[in-house]
Amino acid sequence: MEQYLREELDQVTIHTGDIIIDHLTGYVGVILNRIRRVDMIIDDVYFWEIKWTSNFAGKEERQRSRTQQECIDISGYLEEDTLKLSILIGAVELYSTSTCDDKDKK
């Protein structure tokens, strides 16, 4: 990854309790906790556990049939750099909480 992109990703701060909106699916989620996994190639990999709410898509999306809406499967975990990149490009919107523990920062 280029140094510039890494610097941009490092400036995005995510905390437990933050709220995110996935503009691609219309889901709203609450960040529950950060999980560390060890990878053989890149060493430490971090994931955020997210509790997703119902789909709050626009009027056109709500009018689609229930079968079509059930095709969207959204996971309860997002890899940290993927989430940060999604925030940077605007696919996901982050609403940060003001009182957070430093241990949750990254």
From residue 35, alpha-carbon distances to 3, 5, 25, 32, 70 in Å are 25, 23, 24, 10, 28
Is 105 a domain residue? Answer: no
Query: Considering the domain boundaries, does residue 87 fall inside one?
Result: yes
* CA 106/CA 99 separation, integer angstroms: 15
Residue 56, domain extent: 3-99
Inside any domain, residue 106 = no
In sign, the C-alpha dihedral spanning 37, 29, 68, 57 is negative
What pLDDT digit, counting tens, does each position of 66-99 carry? 445 555 666 789 999 999 999 999 999 999 986 5
Cβ-based neighbours of 88, under 8 Å, separated by 6 or more: 8, 9, 12
Count of residues in the chain: 106
**How many other β-carbons are positioned within 10 Å of the β-carbon of residue 26?**
18
How many structural domains compose the chain?
Answer: 1
What radius of gyration do the chain's Cα atoms show? 15
What are the pLDDT digits (tens) for 28-46?
999 999 999 987 887 889 9
Predicted pLDDT at 94: 96
Is 7 part of any domain? yes
